[in-house]
Amino acid sequence: MKESLRKLAPEFAGARILGAAVVALGVLCSSAWPQASSPEHPSIVVQGQTYTPHSIWARNMGTKEDQSEQYPPHKIIDNLYYVGTKTLSSFLIVTPAGNILIDSTYERNVPTIKKSVEQLGFKFSDIKILLGNHAHGDHMQGDAMVKELTGAKVIVMAEDVPALKAMKSGDKEHPIDQIIHDGDSVSLGGVTLLAHLTPGHTHGATAWTTKAKEGGKTYDVVFFTSLRSPVPITPEVADELTRSFKIVPTIACDVPLGDHPAQFGLWEKYPKVQKGKPNPYIDKPGCKLEAEIEEGMFHAILEEQKASQ
């Protein structure tokens, strides 16, 4: 794969210097996703819906108010609960030995997440492990505050350590208690999560998988990380995303989740949650949709870059 990307390298030549600057800016300003003004081109159509880089970004992030507005906390399946905001996901996994939180989002949202956890009848202080999907501020800036409030162990993917160390809120250093690698697992109270390195959006972007039970059946739950392409795409990122787009379809999935609610249809599924009815979050056909959108956009951006040389 690396050899094939070396052959493609001339197609990226005009973007290399700018791409390096974008990456550097992303590390220095990781408290917010650096592409707040993603372009309106190229466009792709997936399952009858038209997407541009900007429309995907706007769908994911919404307004500043959307990013902080509490979304009704609720059970997704088994011991897994949604405790995030309208456009930024946060998940609580409850175990007999304490709880696991995935994605703290922005620091300003930590009180909202705490409120959601407590409204579900759980103690925020029972969070023992804090995980994240990728090192951008809208998903992991709140880690320091969560650790202050709970003492939770912060476990991070090795490839995201540099970006996390650069991610500070005020004078707080970003906590890192344990560094893991692709294929490592995290366990607590009979629950095990497996880390799948799916880089591109960040170098350490991670999809987490676990099992959940409902109605006598066991389901594969996947917390997908974003696969959204930066603009421009550098050769290094192209290599990473090419790898990730091959890995993601191989991950066993029945319940697709993601770091933004729009990536897994939260707003459409939650109103359908009713006792005695099929669980809308069990959605095997939806497991590949977001990757299909992002891979299509990835190739469209590469083609546009090639045409501009």
Pairing mode, strands 185-188 and 153-157: unpaired
Pairing mode, strands 206-214 and 217-224: antiparallel
From CA 304, how far away is CA 51, in angstroms rounded? Answer: 15
12 or 277: whose pLDDT is higher?
277
Which residues, at least 6 apart from 110, have a Cβ–Cβ distance to it below 8 Å?
104, 142, 145, 146, 149
In the block, tokens 């550098």 appear at 234
Terminal alpha carbon distance of the chain: 23
CB 169 within 8 A of CB 212: no
Domains and CATH numbers, the chain: 2-308 (3.60.15.10)
Q: What is the pLDDT of residues 254-294, one digit of tens each?
A: 999 999 999 999 999 999 999 899 999 999 999 999 999 99
Q: What is the pLDDT of residues 186-234, one digit of tens each?
A: 999 999 999 999 999 999 999 999 999 999 999 999 999 999 998 999 9
Q: What are phi and psi of 94, to 5 degrees?
A: -95, 130
Residue 276: both structure tokens together? 């005695």
